[in-house]
Structure formats: C-alpha cells, structure tokens
Amino acid sequence: MEKYIRNFGGLVASALATMPDREIARAMGIIQATYERDGKIYIFGNGGSLALATHWVSDFNKTVFSRHLTKGVRRFQAIRLPTTEEELTAWANDVGYEMVFAGPLENYMQEIDAVIAISSSGASPNVIKAVEFAQSRHVPVIGLSGFDGGRLNELADAKILIRTEKGAYEVVESVHGTILHLMTRYFKDYFDHALGARNA
C-alpha cells in the first residue's frame, strides 16, 4: 500500500514538474487585464472540473482580497456556469447537455470578459461549444486540459495542458487544482503588495 501511495505521489510530482509556466503566466495576464477593464471571469467544467471551478470562484471572489474586504476595494467578479443546478438541468433537459455552459454564457458574456474552461480530456462537447461561442465574440479563453489536450488545447488562448496518459483524471485534476490555487495565491500576494503600498 505504501508503494502505491508513493507511486501516485510520484505521478503528480512529475506532472507538476512539467507545468507549462509560460502558458500559466499568459493566463494570469488575461485575468489581470480582465480585472483592469472591470470584466467578469466565467469558469466551467464537468464533474470534478466543475468542483474545481466552484472552489476557485470562492477563492477568487473572497480569498484574494481577504485582508481588504472592509476597505471598499473593487474585487474580482468570478462566476461559475451554470450558476445554479436548476439552470443546468433546464438547459440539459430542454435544449441539450451540450448547451449547459454555452447557453448561460450567451445570457451574460460581454466583450470585456474572459473564460476559463476546464476539461481533463480537452474534448468535452459542452465545454468546446462554450469555448467556440466565447471566441466568436472575441473573448479570451484560458483552457485547462490533460492527456493530449484535445480540441480545448487547440482553441484556447492560454493553453494550460497537463500532459499525461489518457484516463489519468486523478493526476490531471490534482494538478489543475494546484494551478488554480497558484493563481489565487499570486493575485492575493499581488493585491496585498499593491494595496499595502497605496495605503503606506
């Protein structure tokens, strides 16, 4: 059992060691630019990726500014799609599951916004549909994918690919979670420094 544990840890560590630093930096540049133009960031994915998206929204809307919540500082506007389970099931049942992200995105998205799409396979039809819609409106897309990256990695403006063997969802999702936490920590440190200097 201990060998099994070490082996899994090794797989995750290997994937972490090959994170695409330049693409992650490009993604953070997109996020920064979206904040500066007062845009919103829409994030979505299926299954475990939806859980990662939901967690990230909580971190980005609150944790990034945790030391400045009472100071009237403008915060990020990160929104998980769909925003409710009712909306998800309505789109899935009435229109089709391939529209559960693209449908809500059509309701909300403006040209000043950005999109974060998460798909371990990079091939989820509903994720690709939403990404194609975003790009038709010239909205930048950050794509987090795994395996060989699939269509998502081809389409995304920031291509955060965790290259693994096909089906290694646990490894990909573990590293995606780390990258999303990295983004949170970066912007928390950034605004702590920027706002601290402003108030000094």
What does each of the 200 residues of the chain score in pLDDT, given as a tens digit? 999 999 999 999 999 999 999 999 999 999 999 999 999 999 999 999 999 999 999 999 999 998 887 778 889 999 999 999 999 999 999 999 999 999 999 999 999 999 999 999 999 999 999 999 999 999 999 999 999 999 999 999 999 999 999 999 999 999 999 999 999 999 999 999 888 756 54
The pLDDT of residue 69:
78
Q: Which whole-number Å values give the CA distances from 140 to 37, 84, 129, 136, 143, in the listed order?
A: 13, 24, 15, 10, 10
- Predicted TM-score (pTM) of the model is 0.94
The pLDDT of residue 197:
56
The pLDDT of residue 172:
98
The pLDDT of residue 163:
95
Copy the structure tokens of residue 108: 């909300």
Domain covering 2-199, topology = Rossmann fold (3.40.50)
The pLDDT of residue 141:
98
Round to whole Å and give the CA distance between 21 and 27.
10
